[in-house]
Amino acid sequence: MVPECDHDLMTIEIPTRTPSPISADDTILPFEVSALDVRGRVVRLGPAVDDILTRHNYPLPVAKLLGEAIALAALFGSSLKFDGRFIMQTQGDGPVRMLVVDYVTGGRIRACARFDRRRVEAAIAAGQASGGELMGHGHLAMTIDQGADMNRYQGLVALDGGGLEQAAHEYFLRSEQIPTRVRLAVAEELRSGDGGAQHRWRAGGIMLQFLPKSPDRMRAADLDPGDAPEGTQSHSLPEDEAWLEGRALVETVEDVELIDPELSSEQLVYRLFHERGVRVFGSQNVEARCSCSRENVEAMLKSFSQDDRDHMVENGKIEVTCEFCNRVYDFKPGEVEANDSGQIDQPG
Ligand SMILES: [Zn+2]
């Protein structure tokens, strides 16, 4: 899971022009601050996250947590050089047992949560419904699936009561040895519309990673200029200082800056890094789209025994609801016959 190198993309030097004030929802903007040896991404989600969260209508803190997971998966998934599916999944002993975000190359995303409604309500009543408290202890898994004949890659990190930001830092440090800082924010926006005010979900995130190009750089930069003429400055900061600076800047990012539709991603990275010089790369799109289909659901039903299928008949039909998008698929009992090939397919 090596973050892609963006150098082959067309670059735009921000310091030479005004950062674009046009805020584009459902996009991911990669950027680089060479002076600090850091690279990052900003994700802004409007309709995509609203579509997913509104469809599910989860209790508010669960929706908010899933929104954070969607923003995080978009940041991770879009930084990977692969073709296929990136799946981020949490499992924990808290009121939210599981979160799944499924990101397909090109930016198609879907997500769902499994939770215990009573425990969630109790957590809300007790004021203990932060993301970390909802997930409890367990693990966060990152899986790359490049198709049936390819190996699946999986990385795991423990969840120990902290939130998704903390889990992401741990994951990159332990699995990738890449110092990483992530900020995530999710909020409901109120808009006036036909028939009164409308709630819309928005989410945003920023990820910053320390990726020194030269392994020698730290040693060189740590050395005193020595015999160099008086006043010679080393042309770069020692790595740890560069990282401390980048990290500190990202930690100042406020939730409102990540979700404000009036502040563009370019304006945000310019606000943070203009003193060091920042350049941005071509942005990528994200859309909420489920990959379920009637064919996939039918194939899954065919993989069950006739007896199992008979037990699934209710009111004269077999009804299957996609957990990701809530689409309902109806089958007549005789419509699904045993699968001769014996092939087992998973829905979606
Ligand atoms: Zn679906």
Q: What is the pLDDT of residues 99-148, one digit of tens each?
A: 999 999 999 999 999 999 999 999 999 999 999 999 999 999 999 998 87
Q: Is the pLDDT of residue 10 over 90?
A: no
**Cα 157–163–164 angle (5° rounding)?**
60
Residues 38, 249: Cα–Cα separation, whole Å: 12
Measured in angstroms, how far is the CA atom of residue 77 from the centroid of ligand 1?
Answer: 19
Measured in angstroms, how far is the CA atom of residue 290 from the centroid of ligand 1?
Answer: 5
Measured in angstroms, how far is the CA atom of residue 101 from the centroid of ligand 1?
Answer: 12
Query: Which residue, chain included where needed, has tokens 């007790």?
Result: 126
**Residue 338 — pLDDT band, cuts 50, 70, 90?**
low
Q: How many residues does the chain have?
A: 348
**Residue 4 — pLDDT band, cuts 50, 70, 90?**
very low
Measured in angstroms, how far is the CA atom of residue 4 from the centroid of ligand 1?
Answer: 29
Measured in angstroms, how far is the CA atom of residue 71 from the centroid of ligand 1?
Answer: 19
Phi and psi dihedrals of 135, rounded to 5?
-80, -30
Residues 62, 20: Cα–Cα separation, whole Å: 34
Measured in angstroms, how far is the CA atom of residue 346 from the centroid of ligand 1?
Answer: 12
Measured in angstroms, how far is the CA atom of residue 90 from the centroid of ligand 1?
Answer: 19
pLDDT in tens, 217-226: 444 333 444 4
Measured in angstroms, how far is the CA atom of residue 13 from the centroid of ligand 1?
Answer: 40
Measured in angstroms, how far is the CA atom of residue 84 from the centroid of ligand 1?
Answer: 17
pLDDT at 22: 84
Q: Is the pLDDT of residue 343 over 50?
A: no
**Residue 215 — pLDDT band, cuts 50, 70, 90?**
low
Measured in angstroms, how far is the CA atom of residue 191 from the centroid of ligand 1?
Answer: 28
Query: Which residue, chain included where needed, has tokens 């409308």?
Result: 198
The CA-atom distances, in angstroms, between 37 and each of 110, 138, 246, 282, 334 are 33, 33, 9, 19, 62
Measured in angstroms, how far is the CA atom of residue 110 from the centroid of ligand 1?
Answer: 8
pLDDT at 330: 94
Which of 270, 235, 219 is closest to 35 using CA atoms? 235
Measured in angstroms, how far is the CA atom of residue 324 from the centroid of ligand 1?
Answer: 5
Q: Is the pLDDT of residue 16 over 90?
A: no
Residue 191 CA neighbour count, 13 Å, CB half:
11
Mean pLDDT, residues 177-183:
94
pLDDT at 5: 44
**Cα 186–325–344 angle (5° rounding)?**
130
Q: Is the pLDDT of residue 8 over 70?
A: no
Measured in angstroms, how far is the CA atom of residue 204 from the centroid of ligand 1?
Answer: 24
The number of angstroms, rounded, from the C-alpha of 57 to the middle of its chain's C-alpha atoms is: 20
pLDDT in tens, 71-95: 999 999 999 888 899 999 999 999 9
Q: Is the pLDDT of residue 239 over 90?
A: no
Measured in angstroms, how far is the CA atom of residue 104 from the centroid of ligand 1?
Answer: 14
Residues 332, 317: Cα–Cα separation, whole Å: 5
Angle between helices 164-171 and 60-79 (to 10 degrees): 20
Report percent pLDDT > 90 for the chain.
Answer: 68
pLDDT at 223: 40
Which of 113, 268, 93 is closest to 185 using CA atoms? 268
Measured in angstroms, how far is the CA atom of residue 109 from the centroid of ligand 1?
Answer: 11
Burial class (CB in 10 A: 0-12, 13-18, 19+), 216: exposed
Q: Is the pLDDT of residue 299 over 60?
A: yes
Measured in angstroms, how far is the CA atom of residue 323 from the centroid of ligand 1?
Answer: 7
